[in-house]
Amino acid sequence: MIVKKANTALVVNAVRSAGTMTIEEMATGTGLSRPTVVSIVRALESQRIIYRSGLAPAEVGRQPNLYAIDVTARFAIGIDIDGPPARLVLTDLTGAARHEAVWRLDNDATYEEILATLVHQVEQALRTAAINPQQVMGIGLGLPASVDVSSNRAVNLSRLEALRDAPIGEALHERTQIPVSVRNDAHLMALAEDSDKQEDYLYIAFRTGVGLAVVIDEKVFEGQTGNAGFIGHTTISPTGPLCACGMRGCLEAIVSKRAIVANYASAAGVDAPYDTILDLALHDGDHALLVLDDAARWFGLAIANLIKITDVYTVILGDLGCDETHPFFTAIAEAVAVNTATFLRRPPRLRAGRLSGAQFALGGAEFIIDQFFATPRLRLKADGG
């Protein structure tokens, strides 16, 4: 069975990469025998995963059939929860969005309220796109948390406490009849980022908290439990402010959007949302500039440390809310340069992430699509196992 699945994945990925292929080209490209390829193609046709898209040119004899992936044969759903912002996208097999939704999910919402909202949004997506649950391969659910990927649960959150160790993946599956994979939100966001595919990079999700994905050879390094890159709760200043996690001086307690909003209110004496603070900084708002500059110095120091640890020179700042000409971005870049000047042999490359709005949920859908096209690996048991 595992060999058959692996061979099928070889054929599907060959067609996916080429766009269209003949059976002979599939056999040559995969190294499989022609009878094996014919059997696989027939099965894939019956499942509507591939279809006959036309005829290939031929100098003599009959023109062979061309086959292509039916991009509407299956769909994927991605959900991104930052808190309060929440987003959902439903995509086809190419990752193209067929439905998008953005809504607010209050941090004090109960588990039942969160589950009901997610079910409603999924059902609304299915109705709008006019597809049934059986056509959806899975839901990639990104949470701002350390997660247990084996149980599909959030283990530790500093907000949305109702989801702590709650069976959200299992419950969402039961209510929608669609498989659910729970992952760290930054890991999924990194999958959707439009990066140079040939390079390794660090993707930093700058949100209500701060998350990191280390992308090596086009894959997110998850670590042993699925939580590699949990930098928001690394201590950067032992005497710093108290974090929501109960520790002092965590990175996100000093530099996150939530921290910037709190620090601005303390400095200016008035409340302002993060986006407003960014706008004030463009118009010489003294308090805004000072607060952002202080956050940038700490943030740049943390990024410089990450570069030194990983030896990865490209850094993408996702969900920063501003472009690379903004004083906040330039201050971060300057702090990174200062803290790496005597160490690195070449300057690091920083750039702002290109995702916005509902696009942040694309990573969850991309994760599901990647799993669908993944080639199964044969695992051999150790002696006596």
Average pLDDT for residues 326-351, to the nearest whole number? 91
Given a cut of 70, is residue 377 above it in pLDDT?
no
CA distances from 28 to 14, 45, 135, 301, 315 (A): 10, 20, 31, 51, 39
Given a cut of 70, is residue 380 above it in pLDDT?
no
Instruction: State the pLDDT confidence band at 384, using cuts at 50, 70 and 90.
Output: very low
Given a cut of 70, is residue 113 above it in pLDDT?
yes
What's the rounded Cα separation, in Å, for the pair 149 and 146? 9
* Bridge partner residues of 162 (DSSP): none
How open is the CA angle 49-41-31, to the nearest 5 degrees? 120
pLDDT in tens, 266-318: 999 999 999 999 999 998 788 999 999 999 999 999 999 999 999 999 999 99
